[in-house]
C-alpha cells in the first residue's frame, strides 16, 4: 500500500467514526473545476496584486476597474461545474449528523453541488451589495449590463458582496465557526494555502482543542506540521475516497 493509500485509509476511519465534522475549504477545491486559485503554481495573483483590486481603497479609487476584474472573474467561473470534491462533501453532509462547511470561496460551487449548510466567509461572487442602502441582489448576468452596476432598489452604485483585504468579517460569523470547531471531533482543511486570516488560524484552534485535523493539499502549507493526517493529493481525487470504502485510489 502506498503512503497516500495508508493515509486515505486512516482518514476514512477518522471521518466515518465522527458524528460532528467541520470542513474548511479554499480555492484549491475549485481548481479542478477550472477556477484559478490565487496563490500556488497556477495562482491568479501571478498577474495581479491583491491590494490593487480586492480592497475598499482600490474600489473607491476606481470602481470601474475593480468591477472589470470581478466581471472577468464571473465570466471565468460562469461555466465552472462542481467537481467530485464538491459532490463528496455534499454527500458527506447527508451522512454525518452534524457537518459545518466553511468556505473562503465565493464561487458558489459547494451550493451547486448540493451542500446546504455553507458558511461563506468571504462572500459570494454572484451577489451585488448596494453601497448606500445595503440591499443584496443575486445577479448571474455575464457580462454585467453596466459597470459599476446600480442598486435595483435605490439606484446607487453596487459593489461585489465579498470581503476585501482590510475589511472585517462579521464577528457573529467567526464566533459561529469557532463554536463549530470547539464542538467537532474532526476538522478537514481542504485546498487552502493557510495564509489569510482568520481562516489561516482555524486549524490551530482545532489542534488547541484536541481535534483530529486532516489536510488535503498537493502543496505544503505553514500549518501542515500541526495536523494529524496530511494528504498531498488533489481534493477531487481524495474526498470521494474518504467516505465510501468500496473505491480504490485511481
Ligand atoms: N486540491 C487541493 N488543493 C489544491 C488543489 C487541488 N486540486 N489545487 C491547488 N490546491 C491548493 C494550493 O496548493 C494552495 O495551497 O489550494 C491552495 C489555494 O491557495 P490560495 O490560492 O491562496 O487560496 P485560498 O487559500 O483559498 O486563499 C484564501 O485569499 O485572496 C484571498 O479572499 C481570497 O479566499 C481567498 C483567500
Q: Which domains does the chain have, with CATH numbers?
A: 3-34+81-122+169-242 (3.40.50.1220), 43-79+127-162 (3.30.1600.10)
Q: Which band of pLDDT confidence, cut at 50, 70 and 90, is reported for residue 246?
A: very low
pTM equals 0.93
Q: How far is CA 159 from CA 136, 141, 166, in A?
A: 10, 15, 15
Write down the pLDDT at residue 235: 98
Query: Of residues 146 and 245, which shows the higher confidence score?
Result: 146
CB of 101 closer than 8 Å to CB of 23: yes
Report the alpha-carbon distance of residue 102 to residue 114 in Å, rounded.
14
pLDDT at 86: 98
Check pocket membership of 40 for ligand 1, CB cut-off 6 A: yes
- Inter-residue contact 6 to 83 (CB < 8 Å): no
Cα 27 to middle of ligand 1, angstroms:
4
Residue-by-residue DSSP string for 186-248: EEEEES--S-STTGGGHHHHHHHTT-EEEEE-SS--TTGGG-SEEE-S-HHHHHHHHS-TT--
* pLDDT computed for residue 28 by the predictor: 96
Structure-block grid coordinates of residue 13: 476511519
Distance CA 243, CA 250 (A): 16
Q: Is the pLDDT of residue 47 over 80?
A: no
Q: What is the pLDDT of residues 178-199, one digit of tens each?
A: 999 999 999 999 999 999 999 9
Q: Residue 215: CB within 6 Å of ligand 1?
A: no
Residue 23's beta-bridge partner residues?
Answer: 101, 188
Which ligand 1 atom is at minimum distance from the Cα of 235? Answer: 1
249 pLDDT band, cuts 50/70/90, is very low
Which of 129, 165, 163, 135 is CA-nearest to residue 148? Answer: 129
- Regarding the beta carbon of 24 and ligand 1, being less than 6 Å apart is answered no
H or E element: which one contains 178? helix 171-183
Is 122 annotated in the active site?
yes
Percentage with pLDDT > 70 across the chain: 92
Q: Give the model confidence (pLDDT) of 7-36 as tens digits.
A: 999 999 999 999 999 999 999 999 999 998
Is residue 58's pLDDT more than 70?
Answer: yes
Pairing of strands 20-25, 98-103: parallel
Confidence (pLDDT) at 48: 62
Longest dimension (CA), the chain: 62
- What average pLDDT does this structure show over 203-218? 97
In the chain, the percentage of residues whose pLDDT exceeds 90 is: 85
- CA 116 to each of CA 41, 99, 219: distance values in angstroms, whole numbers, following the listed order: 31, 10, 29
Report pLDDT for 50. 63
On whether the CB atoms of residues 130 and 123 are closer than 8 A, the answer is no
Cα 191 to ligand 1 centroid, rounded to whole Å: 5
Average pLDDT, the chain: 92
Query: How much is the pLDDT for 244?
Result: 60
Amino acid at each position: 500500500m502506498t503512503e497516500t493509500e495508508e493515509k486515505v485509509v486512516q482518514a476514512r476511519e477518522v471521518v466515518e467514526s465522527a458524528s460532528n465534522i467541520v470542513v474548511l475549504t479554499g480555492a484549491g477545491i475549485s481548481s479542478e473545476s477550472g477556477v484559478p486559485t490565487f496563490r500556488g503554481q497556477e495562482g491568479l495573483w501571478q498577474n495581479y496584486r491583491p491590494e490593487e483590486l480586492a480592497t475598499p481603497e482600490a474600489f473607491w479609487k476606481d470602481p470601474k476597474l475593480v468591477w472589470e476584474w470581478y466581471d472577468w472573474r464571473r465570466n471565468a467561473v460562469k461555466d465552472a461545474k462542481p467537481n467530485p470534491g464538491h459532490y463528496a462533501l455534499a454527500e458527506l453532509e447527508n451522512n454525518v449528523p452534524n457537518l459545518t462547511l466553511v468556505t473562503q470561496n465565493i464561487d458558489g460551487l459547494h451550493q451547486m453541488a448540493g451542500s446546504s449548510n455553507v458558511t461563506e466567509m468571504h462572500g459570494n461572487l454572484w451577489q451585488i451589495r448596494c453601497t448606500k442602502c445595503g440591499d443584496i441582489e443575486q445577479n448571474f448576468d455575464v457580462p454585467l449590463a453596466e459597470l459599476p452596476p446600480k442598486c435595483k432598489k435605490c439606484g446607487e452604485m453596487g459593489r461585489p458582496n465579498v470581503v476585501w483585504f482590510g475589511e472585517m468579517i462579521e464577528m457573529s460569523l467567526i464566533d459561529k465557526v469557532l463554536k463549530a470547531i470547539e464542538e467537532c471531533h474532526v476538522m478537514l482543511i481542504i485546498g487552502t494555502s493557510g495564509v489569510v486570516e482568520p481562516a489561516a488560524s482555524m486549524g490551530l484552534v482545532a489542534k488547541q482543542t484536541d481535534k483530529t485535523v486532516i489536510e488535503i493539499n498537493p502543496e505544503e502549507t505553514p500549518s501542515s506540521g500541526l495536523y494529524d493526517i496530511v494528504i498531498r493529493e488533489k481534493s477531487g481525487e481524495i474526498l470521494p475516497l474518504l467516505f465510501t470504502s468500496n473505491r480504490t485510489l485511481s
